[in-house]
Amino acid sequence: MPNSGPLNGIKVLDLTRLAPGPHCTMILGDLSAEVIKIEEPGPPTGRRAEQAGAASVRGRSQSGFQGSPFNALGRNKKSIGLDLKSPVGKQIFLRLHQRCDVVVEEFRPGVARRLGIDYETLSVRNPRYIHCAITGYGQNGPYRDLVGHDINYIAHAGVLSIMGTAGQRPTIPHNLIADYAGGGMHAAMGIMAALIARGQNGRGQYVDIAMMDGAMLVMAQAFAAHFYSGRVPQRGETQLDGGVPYYGVYQTKDGKWITIGSMEPWFYANLCRATGLDDFIPHQYNRDKHPEMRRRLEETFRTRTREEWFELLSKTDICAAPMLTLDEVKDNAQVKARNMIVEVDTPAGGKARQVGISIKLSATPGSIRSLAPELGQHTDEILAELGYTADAIAKWRSDGAIR
Protein backbone atom coordinates (compact mmCIF):
# COMPACT_ATOMS: atom_id res chain seq x y z
CA MET A 1 0.00 0.00 0.00
CA PRO A 2 1.47 3.41 -0.94
CA ASN A 3 2.45 5.66 1.93
CA SER A 4 0.76 9.06 1.55
CA GLY A 5 -0.30 9.89 5.09
CA PRO A 6 0.35 13.09 7.07
CA LEU A 7 3.70 11.98 8.51
CA ASN A 8 5.07 10.61 5.25
CA GLY A 9 8.84 11.23 5.16
CA ILE A 10 9.25 11.37 8.95
CA LYS A 11 11.76 8.78 10.19
CA VAL A 12 11.43 7.48 13.76
CA LEU A 13 13.93 5.37 15.71
CA ASP A 14 11.98 3.34 18.27
CA LEU A 15 14.01 2.17 21.28
CA THR A 16 10.96 1.26 23.37
CA ARG A 17 9.65 -2.11 24.58
CA LEU A 18 6.78 -1.72 27.05
CA ALA A 19 3.24 -0.47 26.40
CA PRO A 20 3.57 3.37 26.33
CA GLY A 21 6.41 3.60 23.80
CA PRO A 22 5.18 1.01 21.29
CA HIS A 23 1.70 2.57 21.51
CA CYS A 24 3.17 5.99 20.73
CA THR A 25 5.18 4.74 17.75
CA MET A 26 2.21 2.70 16.50
CA ILE A 27 0.21 5.96 16.30
CA LEU A 28 3.07 7.64 14.41
CA GLY A 29 3.38 4.63 12.09
CA ASP A 30 -0.35 4.54 11.44
CA LEU A 31 -0.08 8.18 10.35
CA SER A 32 2.63 7.16 7.85
CA ALA A 33 5.91 7.80 9.69
CA GLU A 34 8.69 5.32 8.91
CA VAL A 35 9.32 3.59 12.24
CA ILE A 36 12.42 1.46 12.82
CA LYS A 37 12.38 -0.67 15.97
CA ILE A 38 15.88 -1.05 17.37
CA GLU A 39 15.88 -4.28 19.36
CA GLU A 40 18.53 -6.16 21.30
CA PRO A 41 19.92 -9.04 19.22
CA GLY A 42 20.10 -12.57 20.53
CA PRO A 43 18.04 -14.36 23.15
CA PRO A 44 17.04 -12.26 26.18
CA THR A 45 19.34 -12.39 29.19
CA GLY A 46 19.26 -11.02 32.75
CA ARG A 47 16.25 -8.89 33.57
CA ARG A 48 15.13 -8.95 29.96
CA ALA A 49 14.85 -12.75 30.18
CA GLU A 50 12.94 -12.51 33.45
CA GLN A 51 10.58 -9.98 31.87
CA ALA A 52 9.99 -12.25 28.87
CA GLY A 53 9.33 -15.17 31.21
CA ALA A 54 6.83 -13.17 33.23
CA ALA A 55 5.05 -12.13 30.03
CA SER A 56 4.82 -15.75 28.94
CA VAL A 57 3.27 -16.72 32.28
CA ARG A 58 0.67 -13.98 31.73
CA GLY A 59 -0.13 -15.49 28.34
CA ARG A 60 1.82 -12.96 26.26
CA SER A 61 4.82 -14.89 24.99
CA GLN A 62 7.46 -12.41 23.89
CA SER A 63 8.81 -14.76 21.22
CA GLY A 64 5.40 -15.71 19.86
CA PHE A 65 3.38 -12.52 20.09
CA GLN A 66 5.86 -9.70 19.43
CA GLY A 67 6.16 -10.58 15.74
CA SER A 68 2.63 -11.91 15.42
CA PRO A 69 0.29 -10.43 12.77
CA PHE A 70 -2.17 -9.88 15.61
CA ASN A 71 0.23 -7.59 17.51
CA ALA A 72 -1.17 -4.14 16.65
CA LEU A 73 1.59 -2.30 18.53
CA GLY A 74 4.16 -3.71 16.11
CA ARG A 75 2.41 -2.80 12.87
CA ASN A 76 3.83 -0.32 10.35
CA LYS A 77 7.32 -0.83 11.77
CA LYS A 78 10.62 -2.31 10.64
CA SER A 79 12.95 -4.21 12.98
CA ILE A 80 16.72 -4.21 13.27
CA GLY A 81 18.62 -6.19 15.89
CA LEU A 82 21.33 -3.91 17.24
CA ASP A 83 23.58 -4.13 20.29
CA LEU A 84 23.94 -0.48 21.34
CA LYS A 85 26.67 -1.41 23.82
CA SER A 86 28.98 -2.70 21.07
CA PRO A 87 31.16 -0.33 18.99
CA VAL A 88 29.56 -1.58 15.77
CA GLY A 89 26.04 -1.22 17.13
CA LYS A 90 26.79 2.30 18.33
CA GLN A 91 28.29 3.23 14.95
CA ILE A 92 25.22 1.95 13.09
CA PHE A 93 22.87 3.75 15.45
CA LEU A 94 24.71 7.04 14.94
CA ARG A 95 24.49 6.67 11.18
CA LEU A 96 20.76 5.92 11.45
CA HIS A 97 20.37 8.92 13.73
CA GLN A 98 21.92 11.26 11.16
CA ARG A 99 18.96 10.47 8.89
CA CYS A 100 16.18 10.40 11.48
CA ASP A 101 13.64 12.96 12.67
CA VAL A 102 12.58 11.41 15.98
CA VAL A 103 14.00 9.12 18.66
CA VAL A 104 11.58 7.58 21.16
CA GLU A 105 12.91 5.83 24.28
CA GLU A 106 11.64 4.83 27.71
CA PHE A 107 14.90 4.25 29.56
CA ARG A 108 15.21 5.22 33.20
CA PRO A 109 16.55 8.77 33.57
CA GLY A 110 20.30 8.76 32.97
CA VAL A 111 20.49 5.53 30.97
CA ALA A 112 20.47 7.25 27.56
CA ARG A 113 23.39 9.41 28.70
CA ARG A 114 25.35 6.37 29.86
CA LEU A 115 24.81 4.81 26.42
CA GLY A 116 25.94 8.03 24.76
CA ILE A 117 22.62 8.50 22.94
CA ASP A 118 21.11 11.29 25.03
CA TYR A 119 19.65 14.45 23.53
CA GLU A 120 22.56 16.70 24.53
CA THR A 121 25.04 14.43 22.75
CA LEU A 122 23.00 13.59 19.67
CA SER A 123 21.59 17.08 19.02
CA VAL A 124 25.11 18.33 18.32
CA ARG A 125 25.23 15.92 15.36
CA ASN A 126 21.61 16.43 14.28
CA PRO A 127 20.08 19.62 15.72
CA ARG A 128 16.79 19.08 13.86
CA TYR A 129 15.93 15.80 15.55
CA ILE A 130 13.30 15.41 18.28
CA HIS A 131 14.06 13.23 21.30
CA CYS A 132 11.07 11.87 23.23
CA ALA A 133 11.69 10.19 26.59
CA ILE A 134 8.74 8.41 28.23
CA THR A 135 9.13 7.65 31.95
CA GLY A 136 6.89 7.18 34.95
CA TYR A 137 7.68 10.42 36.76
CA GLY A 138 9.69 12.51 34.29
CA GLN A 139 13.28 13.72 34.16
CA ASN A 140 13.23 15.80 37.36
CA GLY A 141 11.67 15.87 40.81
CA PRO A 142 12.08 13.66 43.88
CA TYR A 143 10.36 10.67 42.19
CA ARG A 144 12.58 10.85 39.11
CA ASP A 145 14.40 7.58 39.80
CA LEU A 146 11.53 5.59 41.30
CA VAL A 147 10.40 2.45 39.49
CA GLY A 148 6.72 1.92 38.86
CA HIS A 149 3.86 0.74 36.70
CA ASP A 150 0.46 2.13 35.69
CA ILE A 151 -1.13 1.43 39.08
CA ASN A 152 1.59 3.42 40.87
CA TYR A 153 1.40 6.43 38.54
CA ILE A 154 -2.40 6.69 38.74
CA ALA A 155 -2.17 6.34 42.52
CA HIS A 156 0.18 9.32 42.73
CA ALA A 157 -1.92 11.28 40.22
CA GLY A 158 -5.13 10.93 42.24
CA VAL A 159 -6.88 8.89 39.55
CA LEU A 160 -7.13 5.70 41.59
CA SER A 161 -8.76 7.51 44.50
CA ILE A 162 -11.97 8.06 42.50
CA MET A 163 -12.14 4.65 40.79
CA GLY A 164 -14.61 2.19 42.28
CA THR A 165 -17.69 1.75 44.43
CA ALA A 166 -18.46 3.79 47.54
CA GLY A 167 -17.04 2.22 50.68
CA GLN A 168 -15.09 -0.42 48.73
CA ARG A 169 -11.45 -0.72 47.76
CA PRO A 170 -10.41 1.21 44.63
CA THR A 171 -11.00 -0.48 41.27
CA ILE A 172 -7.88 -0.97 39.14
CA PRO A 173 -8.68 0.21 35.58
CA HIS A 174 -6.27 -2.17 33.79
CA ASN A 175 -3.23 -0.24 32.50
CA LEU A 176 -5.17 2.08 30.24
CA ILE A 177 -4.82 5.46 31.93
CA ALA A 178 -1.12 5.98 32.65
CA ASP A 179 0.43 3.62 30.08
CA TYR A 180 -1.73 4.31 27.06
CA ALA A 181 -3.51 7.65 27.63
CA GLY A 182 -0.96 9.37 29.88
CA GLY A 183 2.09 7.83 28.22
CA GLY A 184 1.66 6.65 24.63
CA MET A 185 -0.95 9.14 23.43
CA HIS A 186 0.65 12.11 25.18
CA ALA A 187 4.03 11.17 23.71
CA ALA A 188 2.58 11.04 20.19
CA MET A 189 0.95 14.45 20.69
CA GLY A 190 4.17 15.90 22.08
CA ILE A 191 6.20 14.60 19.13
CA MET A 192 3.74 15.96 16.58
CA ALA A 193 3.71 19.35 18.33
CA ALA A 194 7.53 19.37 18.24
CA LEU A 195 7.47 18.53 14.52
CA ILE A 196 5.17 21.50 13.89
CA ALA A 197 7.48 23.75 15.93
CA ARG A 198 10.47 22.49 13.94
CA GLY A 199 8.67 23.46 10.75
CA GLN A 200 8.46 26.99 12.11
CA ASN A 201 11.96 27.44 13.59
CA GLY A 202 14.04 24.66 12.03
CA ARG A 203 15.12 23.20 15.40
CA GLY A 204 14.39 19.96 17.17
CA GLN A 205 13.83 19.66 20.92
CA TYR A 206 13.51 17.34 23.91
CA VAL A 207 10.04 15.97 24.75
CA ASP A 208 9.81 14.89 28.41
CA ILE A 209 6.72 12.69 28.93
CA ALA A 210 5.84 11.51 32.44
CA MET A 211 2.98 9.04 32.74
CA MET A 212 2.01 10.57 36.08
CA ASP A 213 1.73 13.98 34.40
CA GLY A 214 -0.44 12.55 31.63
CA ALA A 215 -2.72 10.82 34.12
CA MET A 216 -3.14 14.12 35.97
CA LEU A 217 -4.07 15.92 32.76
CA VAL A 218 -6.82 13.37 32.15
CA MET A 219 -8.10 14.51 35.56
CA ALA A 220 -7.89 18.24 34.75
CA GLN A 221 -11.62 18.90 35.16
CA ALA A 222 -11.85 16.89 38.38
CA PHE A 223 -8.99 18.95 39.83
CA ALA A 224 -10.63 22.16 38.62
CA ALA A 225 -13.83 21.26 40.49
CA HIS A 226 -11.78 20.45 43.60
CA PHE A 227 -9.86 23.74 43.46
CA TYR A 228 -13.13 25.64 43.01
CA SER A 229 -15.14 23.97 45.79
CA GLY A 230 -12.45 22.61 48.08
CA ARG A 231 -14.34 19.31 48.17
CA VAL A 232 -12.40 16.05 47.80
CA PRO A 233 -14.40 13.67 45.58
CA GLN A 234 -15.03 10.23 47.05
CA ARG A 235 -15.26 7.21 44.76
CA GLY A 236 -18.75 6.02 44.03
CA GLU A 237 -20.35 9.18 45.38
CA THR A 238 -20.24 11.64 42.50
CA GLN A 239 -22.59 12.01 39.56
CA LEU A 240 -20.02 10.51 37.18
CA ASP A 241 -19.02 7.36 39.04
CA GLY A 242 -22.24 5.71 40.11
CA GLY A 243 -23.19 8.02 42.96
CA VAL A 244 -26.63 8.65 41.42
CA PRO A 245 -29.08 6.03 40.09
CA TYR A 246 -29.48 7.65 36.65
CA TYR A 247 -25.76 7.30 35.84
CA GLY A 248 -24.77 3.69 36.39
CA VAL A 249 -24.75 0.05 35.35
CA TYR A 250 -27.68 -2.35 35.73
CA GLN A 251 -27.92 -6.10 35.28
CA THR A 252 -30.54 -7.38 32.87
CA LYS A 253 -32.67 -10.51 32.63
CA ASP A 254 -29.99 -12.45 30.72
CA GLY A 255 -27.27 -11.67 33.28
CA LYS A 256 -25.68 -9.02 31.06
CA TRP A 257 -25.37 -5.30 31.76
CA ILE A 258 -26.83 -2.05 30.44
CA THR A 259 -25.30 1.37 31.10
CA ILE A 260 -27.34 4.50 31.78
CA GLY A 261 -26.00 8.05 31.56
CA SER A 262 -29.12 10.23 31.73
CA MET A 263 -27.76 13.22 33.68
CA GLU A 264 -29.52 16.06 31.87
CA PRO A 265 -33.08 16.70 33.13
CA TRP A 266 -34.69 15.88 29.76
CA PHE A 267 -32.79 12.60 29.42
CA TYR A 268 -33.59 11.82 33.06
CA ALA A 269 -37.30 12.41 32.50
CA ASN A 270 -37.26 10.16 29.43
CA LEU A 271 -35.57 7.42 31.48
CA CYS A 272 -38.22 7.65 34.18
CA ARG A 273 -41.04 7.41 31.64
CA ALA A 274 -39.47 4.50 29.73
CA THR A 275 -38.98 2.47 32.91
CA GLY A 276 -42.36 3.33 34.49
CA LEU A 277 -40.85 5.54 37.19
CA ASP A 278 -42.75 8.72 36.30
CA ASP A 279 -43.22 9.50 39.99
CA PHE A 280 -39.47 10.11 40.30
CA ILE A 281 -39.31 12.83 37.64
CA PRO A 282 -39.55 15.70 40.20
CA HIS A 283 -36.84 14.13 42.40
CA GLN A 284 -33.72 13.99 40.19
CA TYR A 285 -31.58 15.89 42.69
CA ASN A 286 -33.26 14.61 45.85
CA ARG A 287 -30.65 12.24 47.26
CA ASP A 288 -33.10 10.92 49.83
CA LYS A 289 -35.02 9.39 46.94
CA HIS A 290 -32.01 7.87 45.20
CA PRO A 291 -31.79 4.57 47.12
CA GLU A 292 -35.42 3.77 46.35
CA MET A 293 -35.03 4.78 42.71
CA ARG A 294 -31.91 2.64 42.34
CA ARG A 295 -33.74 -0.36 43.83
CA ARG A 296 -36.69 0.05 41.48
CA LEU A 297 -34.42 0.49 38.46
CA GLU A 298 -32.57 -2.69 39.43
CA GLU A 299 -35.86 -4.58 39.59
CA THR A 300 -37.10 -3.08 36.34
CA PHE A 301 -33.98 -3.80 34.30
CA ARG A 302 -34.11 -7.46 35.33
CA THR A 303 -37.42 -7.85 33.47
CA ARG A 304 -35.90 -7.73 29.98
CA THR A 305 -32.69 -8.78 28.25
CA ARG A 306 -29.86 -6.37 27.58
CA GLU A 307 -30.64 -6.15 23.86
CA GLU A 308 -34.37 -5.66 24.49
CA TRP A 309 -33.61 -2.74 26.79
CA PHE A 310 -31.17 -1.17 24.36
CA GLU A 311 -33.66 -1.53 21.51
CA LEU A 312 -36.25 0.30 23.60
CA LEU A 313 -34.08 2.96 25.21
CA SER A 314 -32.12 3.87 22.07
CA LYS A 315 -35.40 4.89 20.41
CA THR A 316 -36.57 7.14 23.22
CA ASP A 317 -33.73 9.69 23.43
CA ILE A 318 -32.06 8.17 26.49
CA CYS A 319 -28.32 7.91 27.10
CA ALA A 320 -27.95 4.13 27.21
CA ALA A 321 -25.60 1.47 25.86
CA PRO A 322 -25.03 -2.25 26.37
CA MET A 323 -21.80 -3.20 28.13
CA LEU A 324 -20.08 -5.26 25.45
CA THR A 325 -17.30 -7.76 25.98
CA LEU A 326 -14.39 -7.74 23.52
CA ASP A 327 -15.77 -10.65 21.52
CA GLU A 328 -19.03 -8.70 21.08
CA VAL A 329 -17.39 -5.40 20.13
CA LYS A 330 -15.98 -6.81 16.89
CA ASP A 331 -19.48 -7.48 15.55
CA ASN A 332 -20.98 -4.16 16.68
CA ALA A 333 -22.68 -2.21 13.88
CA GLN A 334 -21.08 1.12 14.89
CA VAL A 335 -17.63 -0.45 15.04
CA LYS A 336 -18.14 -1.84 11.54
CA ALA A 337 -19.41 1.48 10.21
CA ARG A 338 -16.31 3.26 11.58
CA ASN A 339 -13.97 0.52 10.31
CA MET A 340 -12.53 0.11 13.82
CA ILE A 341 -11.91 -3.63 13.47
CA VAL A 342 -9.97 -4.42 10.32
CA GLU A 343 -8.83 -7.61 8.65
CA VAL A 344 -5.34 -7.53 7.20
CA ASP A 345 -3.54 -10.05 5.02
CA THR A 346 -0.68 -11.92 6.70
CA PRO A 347 2.55 -12.99 4.96
CA ALA A 348 1.41 -16.61 5.36
CA GLY A 349 -1.70 -15.93 3.32
CA GLY A 350 -4.13 -15.78 6.21
CA LYS A 351 -6.04 -12.97 7.84
CA ALA A 352 -5.44 -11.16 11.13
CA ARG A 353 -7.85 -8.82 12.85
CA GLN A 354 -6.71 -5.64 14.58
CA VAL A 355 -8.19 -2.46 15.94
CA GLY A 356 -8.40 0.10 13.14
CA ILE A 357 -7.16 3.68 12.97
CA SER A 358 -9.09 6.04 15.23
CA ILE A 359 -7.88 9.34 13.75
CA LYS A 360 -9.99 9.87 10.63
CA LEU A 361 -8.36 12.31 8.20
CA SER A 362 -10.27 13.16 5.04
CA ALA A 363 -7.34 14.03 2.76
CA THR A 364 -4.36 12.11 4.20
CA PRO A 365 -5.78 9.12 6.08
CA GLY A 366 -3.61 6.74 8.07
CA SER A 367 -3.15 3.14 6.96
CA ILE A 368 -1.87 -0.28 7.99
CA ARG A 369 0.88 -0.95 5.50
CA SER A 370 2.72 -3.78 7.23
CA LEU A 371 2.28 -6.09 10.20
CA ALA A 372 4.50 -6.61 13.24
CA PRO A 373 8.00 -7.66 12.19
CA GLU A 374 10.09 -10.46 13.59
CA LEU A 375 13.21 -9.38 15.48
CA GLY A 376 15.82 -8.31 12.93
CA GLN A 377 13.52 -8.87 9.95
CA HIS A 378 14.72 -5.69 8.22
CA THR A 379 18.33 -5.58 9.41
CA ASP A 380 19.89 -6.36 6.02
CA GLU A 381 17.59 -3.94 4.20
CA ILE A 382 18.27 -1.07 6.62
CA LEU A 383 22.04 -1.59 6.70
CA ALA A 384 22.22 -1.83 2.92
CA GLU A 385 20.40 1.50 2.67
CA LEU A 386 23.05 2.95 5.00
CA GLY A 387 25.78 1.80 2.60
CA TYR A 388 27.16 -1.21 4.50
CA THR A 389 28.38 -4.20 2.46
CA ALA A 390 27.01 -7.72 2.66
CA ASP A 391 30.39 -8.97 3.97
CA ALA A 392 30.37 -6.43 6.82
CA ILE A 393 26.78 -7.32 7.69
CA ALA A 394 27.60 -11.05 7.76
CA LYS A 395 30.65 -10.48 10.00
CA TRP A 396 28.75 -8.28 12.47
CA ARG A 397 25.95 -10.83 12.63
CA SER A 398 28.39 -13.62 13.45
CA ASP A 399 29.96 -11.37 16.12
CA GLY A 400 26.53 -10.83 17.73
CA ALA A 401 26.54 -7.05 17.21
CA ILE A 402 23.49 -7.26 14.98
CA ARG A 403 20.76 -9.72 14.14
What's the pLDDT score for residue 59?
Answer: 45
Q: What is the pLDDT of residues 218-245, one digit of tens each?
A: 999 999 999 999 999 999 998 999 899 9
What's the pLDDT score for residue 24?
Answer: 98
364 within some domain: yes
Q: What is the pLDDT of residues 131-179, one digit of tens each?
A: 999 999 999 999 999 999 999 999 999 999 999 999 999 999 999 999 9
Exposure string of 143-178, with b = 16+ CB inside 10 Å and e = fewer, is beeeebebbbbbbbbbbbbbbbeeeeebeeeebebb
Return the closest-CA partner of residue 24 out of 137, 198, 181, 208.
Answer: 181
Average pLDDT of adjacent 10-residue blocks, the chain of 403 residues: 85 97 98 98 69 53 76 97 97 98 98 97 98 98 98 98 94 97 98 98 98 98 97 92 95 98 97 98 97 98 98 96 97 97 94 96 97 97 97 97 97
343 within some domain: no
CATH (domain of 269): 3.30.1540.10
Is residue 200 located within the same domain as residue 109?
Answer: yes
Is residue 279 located within the same domain as residue 173?
Answer: no
Q: In whole angstroms, how far apart are CA 282 and each of 36, 242, 278, 290, 313?
A: 60, 20, 9, 12, 20
307 within some domain: yes
Is residue 254 located within the same domain as residue 315?
Answer: yes
Is residue 154 located within the same domain as residue 21?
Answer: yes
Which of 329, 363, 379 corresponds to the end of one domain?
A: 329
Is residue 47 located within the same domain as residue 144?
Answer: yes
253 within some domain: yes
Please list the active-site residues: 149, 179
CATH (domain of 23): 3.40.50.10540
Return the closest-CA partner of residue 253 out of 291, 313, 309.
Answer: 309
320 within some domain: yes
Which of 329, 364, 387 corresponds to the end of one domain?
A: 329
Note whether 236 and 168 are within 8 A (CB): yes
Is residue 181 located within the same domain as residue 257?
Answer: no
What's the pLDDT score for residue 231?
Answer: 96
What's the pLDDT score for residue 2?
Answer: 61
240 within some domain: no
336 within some domain: no
pTM equals: 0.94
Is residue 132 located within the same domain as residue 26?
Answer: yes
What's the pLDDT score for residue 53?
Answer: 57
Distance (Å, whole) CA 204 – CA 197: 8
266 within some domain: yes
Which contacts (CB < 8 Å, 24+ apart) does range 237-242 have? 237/166, 238/162, 239/263, 241/162, 241/163, 241/164, 242/165, 242/166
Is residue 49 located within the same domain as residue 97?
Answer: yes
Which of 300, 329, 358 corresponds to the end of one domain?
A: 329
Number of domains in the chain: 2
Is residue 35 located within the same domain as residue 100?
Answer: yes
Distance (Å, whole) CA 250 – CA 301: 7
Is residue 268 located within the same domain as residue 174?
Answer: no
What's the pLDDT score for residue 67?
Answer: 87
Is residue 29 located within the same domain as residue 140?
Answer: yes
Structural domain containing residue 24: 11-217+348-399
What's the pLDDT score for residue 51?
Answer: 62
Is residue 311 located within the same domain as residue 252?
Answer: yes
